[in-house]
Chain A
Amino acid sequence: MANDYYSNPKKESGRKLKSNVFAMVCLVISSLAVVILITLLATIFISGGSWLNWEFLSGVHKEDNPEGSGIGQAVLGSALICLLCASVAIPIGIGTAIFLEEFQPRNKILRSLHGLVQLNISNLAGVPSIVYGILGLTTFVYLFNLVPSIQVNKPIPWEVGATHFYQTKTLGRTFVKFPAGDREETSIKLTQNEMCVDADGNTFELKLVDKRSEAPKDPELKKGYALRGRSASRLTERSPWYFHLPLGKSLLSAALTLALVILPIVIISSQEAIRAVPRSIREAAFGMGATRWQVVRKTVLPAATPGIMTGAILSMSRAIGEAAPVLAVMGGVLGTTSGIKSLMDQTPVLPVTIYRWAGDENAGFENASSAAIIVLLGVLLIMNSIAILLRNRYEKKLS
């Protein structure tokens, strides 16, 4: 009977063996992740590695011509949207994080707001990005239909930075333009003399005549005359700060939508960075009579900045890889003829380009797509390395 208190040596070794076998199985299963990653990278590099050259990096998309297509516009578009998105999301995110971490209100209403915001953020982080895309489409692109939406051949409801002209042809076969004023038609008939500007920038009065014979014979003088009733078509010149409401399918809409997507991530990582700042530093500042805001601005924020920046960069790398919200807001644009002139233009971005090329019937775009993936992964690698460098520096300083 006393034997029962001691373990059976045979059984003992069986249990140990089991434990060791389990450790091996765990190791094998865990290393599947490494195998998957290597397979994925190998597939992409074999398919796209040889396509990487300067023409590809600087070119634009061409229909049915994968060899001649490039990602210049998409890279530029992605960079611009990412910067815009960061400049919106990061300040708001840091502000929210400070509010949640440093200002615990005593007021009952504010305190319930506090709890609600905190709960809401963790829920928002779980909302699928395509739902944000639909939100962006409804709010930014169509503005909840509060104002008439932008339509082809209709004047835009509200805009800034655009000058409208009508362009017409003179009897001297030159093109001149004159300000549109209050007229909104896409095409008008000339009925009165107009102050015109010609291609060289000279201003003069365009005189109307009923017949060609009424105009002077001299070809130079003929440039100041046009036939009455000749049609003039509307021409719009947009400045770089061109802006309209609703925002329409523009890169600004896409950037704002992506800002909403990454906002919860920015907030959560900033909160963690702020929480990591030792209490003693705050208390020292309070002891010197600083107000709470002074404590935050002069001690907490400087100490938390590296951590906040790490989180911000990681969330930007999330934004740069997101395709679904951009597809919803801007549509699957692959290229524009005029390039980006203002924030109201559409632009291709890298993930959408990859998506469209991967789904293209022309098999050559498969290689172009993998080459674009290599570029995207390269950009992400650089951003993540910067984030890791920042994190390491930060950890050294606080310990």
Chain B
Amino acid sequence: MSSSSVSETGGPNFVRPNFPVKSSARSHRNQAIMVSLLIGCALVTLGTTVGIIYMLIKESMGFFAGDDINLWEFLTGTKWSVGRTQGKFDYGIWPLLSGTLRITAIAMILALPLGLVTAIYLSEYAPKSVRAILKPTLEILAGIPTVVLGFFAVKFITPNLLAPLGEFKTFNATAAGIAVGILCIPLVASLAEDALRAVPRTLREGAYGLGSTKLETTLKVIVPAALSGIISAFLLAVARAIGETMVVALAAGSSPTFTMDPRGPSQTMTGFIVHTFQSESVVPGTPGYYSIYAVAALLFLITFGITLIGQIVRMRYREEYN
């Protein structure tokens, strides 16, 4: 076979196969070896999941094994302190969980509307020139390490944006929430834009043909048609905000509080884990050490559950248009 024949058929030059090949017994044996290697690669990801679940269950059981702490008190308690106070442990998850929920709520109030409107603009309205600026901006914003946004929250958002508004502490839930919201905007925008763009052209043209304006087409036809994709984007953003670590570790402070006040410090589940590792005070085998795993198990359950629901919602949506 001549080596220049492929480009005549219009195929790209660089994918020209180096043939002829011989399908011998050897090449089939090679294939068998390679396939088993590939299966080995695929098993690594399964192993990771199994490892995470095994580790969280095993070590959390170590946490609940003693007489001091039981699962019910962990899930309903409203006091969290590492170490004994007056001879008993206070491991009630609610101060940490409420911190996570407070910050997630603030982040979502910011990120969901902004992300959705940006997605609508990008998908339905944006002229090429605006798109050429907006799209790379969102990509850069998405690529900024979260620790940088944490720095931004402490050094800019709190002193410059929040301080004039009221009595905000140096470390507070609002600044952390805003920063987490900022990092969720590109996520919501790009996922929701994908969902909006997947709506078939015919729906748009039908709406225009009936005399709808662009606004009516967008809000009454396209957004409802893409709703399941948008909801799944929202759910992924919520999961991302709950699991966000470095922003809250820097900006939300290190005291677990059980309040609704967004101006004060609020340690989250992820923040607690990072602060514990950073202090390097935990000795393996103590309740303080096992508590990391119990908190991580709850965190994993919540984020895994939300991601799963998001996927199910999106899969249903896919069926609608095929």
User: Footprint of B on A, CB under 8 Å?
Assistant: 7, 15-16, 18-19, 22-23, 25-27, 29-34, 36-37, 39-40, 43-44, 47, 91-96, 98-100, 103, 110, 113, 116-117, 119-124, 126-135, 137-139, 142, 144, 149, 260, 263-264, 267, 277-278, 280-281, 284-285, 288-294, 298-299, 302-303, 317-318, 321-324, 327-328, 331-332, 351, 354-355, 358-359, 366, 369-370, 373, 376-377, 380, 384, 397-398
Q: Is B207 an interface residue (CB 8 A)?
A: no
- Please name the residue on chain B nearest to A134 by beta carbon: B296
The docked-state distance in angstroms from the alpha carbon of A131 to that of B52 is 8
B284 and A29 contact, CB distance less than 8 A: no
A-B contact pairs, 29 of them (CB 8 A): A22-B215, A23-B125, A29-B113, A29-B118, A33-B137, A33-B189, A43-B155, A44-B152, A95-B40, A117-B45, A117-B46, A124-B48, A128-B245, A130-B243, A130-B245, A132-B52, A135-B55, A284-B11, A285-B19, A289-B21, A294-B27, A294-B31, A317-B143, A328-B277, A351-B246, A355-B147, A369-B151, A373-B148, A397-B12
The docked-state distance in angstroms from the alpha carbon of A358 to that of B14 is 49
A98 and B284 contact, CB distance less than 8 A: no
Q: A126-B239, A128-B303 are in contact. Are A354 and B151 (CB under 8 A)?
A: yes
- The total of chain B residues at the interface (CB under 8 A) is 99
- Enumerate chain A residues within 8 angstroms of B150, measured Cβ to Cβ: 355, 358
- Enumerate chain B residues within 8 angstroms of A27, measured Cβ to Cβ: 121, 125, 130
A32 and B246 contact, CB distance less than 8 A: no
Closest chain B CB from A274 CB (angstroms): 12
- Enumerate chain B residues within 8 angstroms of A303, measured Cβ to Cβ: 12, 14-15
B117 and A26 contact, CB distance less than 8 A: yes
B304 and A123 contact, CB distance less than 8 A: yes
Given contacts A277-B15, A358-B155, 14 further A-B contacts (CB under 8 A): A23-B125, A27-B121, A27-B125, A29-B113, A44-B151, A113-B39, A120-B45, A122-B307, A278-B11, A321-B148, A323-B245, A324-B274, A358-B150, A358-B154
Partner of A321, one of B120, B145, B154, B215: B145
| Most chain B CB neighbours (cut-off 10 Å) among A22, A30, A277 | A30
Closest chain B CB from A370 CB (angstroms): 7
- Enumerate chain A residues within 8 angstroms of B49, measured Cβ to Cβ: 120, 123-124
B52 and A135 contact, CB distance less than 8 A: yes
The docked-state distance in angstroms from the alpha carbon of A144 to that of B11 is 52
- Enumerate chain A residues within 8 angstroms of B155, measured Cβ to Cβ: 43, 47, 358, 366, 370
A15 and B216 contact, CB distance less than 8 A: yes
The docked-state distance in angstroms from the alpha carbon of A373 to that of B189 is 25
Partner of A267, one of B45, B138, B236, B278: B45
A288 and B19 contact, CB distance less than 8 A: yes
The docked-state distance in angstroms from the alpha carbon of A123 to that of B31 is 30
A299 and B17 contact, CB distance less than 8 A: yes
What DSSP secondary structure best describes chain B's contact surface? helix
Give the A-B contact count at a CB cut-off of 8 A: 294
B278 and A128 contact, CB distance less than 8 A: no
Closest chain A CB from B14 CB (angstroms): 6
Closest chain B CB from A290 CB (angstroms): 5
The docked-state distance in angstroms from the alpha carbon of A377 to that of B113 is 28
Q: Is B78 an interface residue (CB 8 A)?
A: no
- Enumerate chain A residues within 8 angstroms of B182, measured Cβ to Cβ: 36
The docked-state distance in angstroms from the alpha carbon of A128 to that of B17 is 42
B48 and A142 contact, CB distance less than 8 A: no
- Enumerate chain B residues within 8 angstroms of A131, measured Cβ to Cβ: 52, 243, 296, 299-300
B300 and A263 contact, CB distance less than 8 A: no
Task: Report B88-134 residues with CB < 8 Å from chain A CB.
Answer: 113-114, 117-118, 120-122, 125-126, 130, 133-134
Task: Report B23-37 residues with CB < 8 Å from chain A CB.
Answer: 23, 27-28, 30-31, 34-35, 37
B11 and A281 contact, CB distance less than 8 A: yes
B134 and A130 contact, CB distance less than 8 A: no
Q: Is B66 an interface residue (CB 8 A)?
A: no
Task: Report B240-288 residues with CB < 8 Å from chain A CB.
Answer: 240, 242-246, 249-250, 270, 273-274, 277-278, 280, 284
B39 and A126 contact, CB distance less than 8 A: no
The docked-state distance in angstroms from the alpha carbon of A17 to that of B42 is 55
Closest chain B CB from A19 CB (angstroms): 4
The docked-state distance in angstroms from the alpha carbon of A96 to that of B47 is 13
- Enumerate chain A residues within 8 angstroms of B218, measured Cβ to Cβ: 22
